Structure 1
Amino acid sequence: MDKVKITQEQADAIKHFKKVYPEKFRGMRYQEFYDALINGYEIEPEFKVGDWIVVTFELHTTIYGKTMKITNVDKSHAVGHDICFGLDGEGIVYQNEIRHATPEEIEQEKERRWWNKHGRDVWELKVGDVLMNKYDREIFHVNNIDGGVFTEYTSDFLVWRYLKEECKVVCFAENRLDVSQ
């Protein structure tokens, strides 16, 4: 293949381009860049189905700041956007309106969803709930909630921090089969 004949001005422009912009390609070879310019390109989504994200666009008033899961990726028909992301059945957002959730945000959202699935706010305990210490497997029956959680085995209340770090719910009061409702 013969080399392309160009002017000195064009050669200087290419030299300048190679000097100034190599880091802008993010690992893309010049041939790939050329092919993208000539043949067109398709944007690989930074996000995929199953990713946990946080909505950062304030005009999404009902989901702004929420940690959500991407449920589908579709071609966008909006000008300036190639793809859009469906979120847990709560609308569609674009790539510039979201960010990846941190591990802490993901853990908090999973916990919130677990409690919500059981009809409760996070660590909303009720009399009759059964808890278990994750380490020594000691069982606690919640008898009273008044400034702390009182159980049948102790006269002292269990500190909320202790509950959240060391205990888990074994059974919610409304699901117990050993007591009549």
Structure 2
Amino acid sequence: MEKVKITQKKADAIEYLLKVRGWSRESIALGEIKRDAQWVDGTPEEGMRGFLDEELLKALYIGYEAEPEFKENDWVTDIKTGKIARIDHRGYDGELAWVDDDEKNFFDSPRHSTPSEIAEEKERRFFAEHGREPWELKKNDILNDRRENCTVTIAKVIDKEVMTVLFTNGDWEFYNNIVEDSDWRVACFADKRLDVKTNE
């Protein structure tokens, strides 16, 4: 049979009762199933609350895997939807990760996000704050080229699909595919500039 997945809080409670309090698996099972045990708030044993009988028996006699712990500000990905968000001040209650997502208040099947997922979500949020899709660039946006350590202005967007743009910088101009080149960063969006008209 397969090990049961339980919260870290429940796993800590079992370990506490077995190793610190010296209870046997049988006494833990009987104490919980008969509801004879009085789990004390604020101690590791309070994690015993909420166990289903079958879940507890499997954990005690077959084995268990503690689900990963989540805390405020952790980036999580919802396994069902693929959405990525950060856990907010409401935290994780063992089942739901309360998140800062605009569409969903919580994820009911979270996992820790990978570094690439986090970077992608941060980029999406950055552009969304300015009313744009990721790497949606417009005329008069200013970009910073980190390789050359210079800023350039977009004179024209040539191809929106692959985001090829025409840059100008003083006396010269050149084309570049921005999306495939990770050395570019937005320095200023056109609508935030005070030195140009943005209604063109």
Q: TM-score band, normalised by the shorter chain?
A: 0.5 to 0.7
- Whether 2:50 is the aligned partner of 1:50: answer no
Q: Is the 8 A contact 1:129 1:171 kept in 2?
A: yes
Determine the C-alpha separation between the residues in 1 that align with 2:158 and 2:168. Answer: 14
| Aligned residue in 1 for 2:126 | 114
Alignment of 1:156-167 (within 5 A): 156-161=174-179, 164-167=181-184
TM-score, with structure 2 as normaliser: 0.60
> Which structure 1 residue ranges, 4+ long, deviate > 4 Å from structure 2?
none
Deviation, 1:161, is 4.4
**In structure 1, how many angstroms separate the alpha carbons of the residues matched to 2:186 and 2:72?**
30
Higher-strand-fraction structure: 2
The counterpart of 1:175, out of the listed 192, 195, 198, is 192
Aligned residue number for residue 31 of structure 1: 19
Letter aligned with residue 52 of structure 1: W
Query: Is the 2:86–2:100 Cα contact (8 Å) retained in structure 1?
Result: yes
Change (3 A) 1:28 1:152: same
Larger radius of gyration between Structure 1 and Structure 2: 1
- Inter-CA distance 69–144: structure 2 relative to 1 (3 Å threshold): same
Tell me if 1:92 matches 2:82.
no
Unaligned runs of 5+ residues in structure 1 are: 1-24, 58-63, 76-81
Match of 1:69 in 2: 86
Aligned to 1:16: none
The 3 A distance-change label for structure 1 pair 112 and 134 is same
Q: For 1:88 and 1:171, how far apart are their aligned partners in 2?
A: 26
Query: Are the aligned partners of 2:70 and 2:92 in contact in 1 as well (CA < 8 Å)?
Result: no
SS of residue in 2 equivalent to 1:146: strand
Cα separation, partners in 2 of 1:53 and 1:42, compared to 1, 3 Å: farther
Q: 1:161 to 1:87 in 2, by over 3 A?
A: closer
Matches of 1:83 and 1:92, distance apart in 2:
10
Q: CA RMSD in A?
A: 3.0
TM-score (norm 1): 0.66
Confirm or deny: 8 A CA contact 1:73 1:83 kept in the other structure: no
Whether 2:174 is the aligned partner of 1:151: answer: no
* CA deviation vs aligned residue, 1:31-81 (integer Å, no higher than 9, x gap): 247289255434497111111111113xxxxxx110111112365xxxxxx
Q: Which has the higher contact order (CA 8 A, sep 6+)?
A: 2
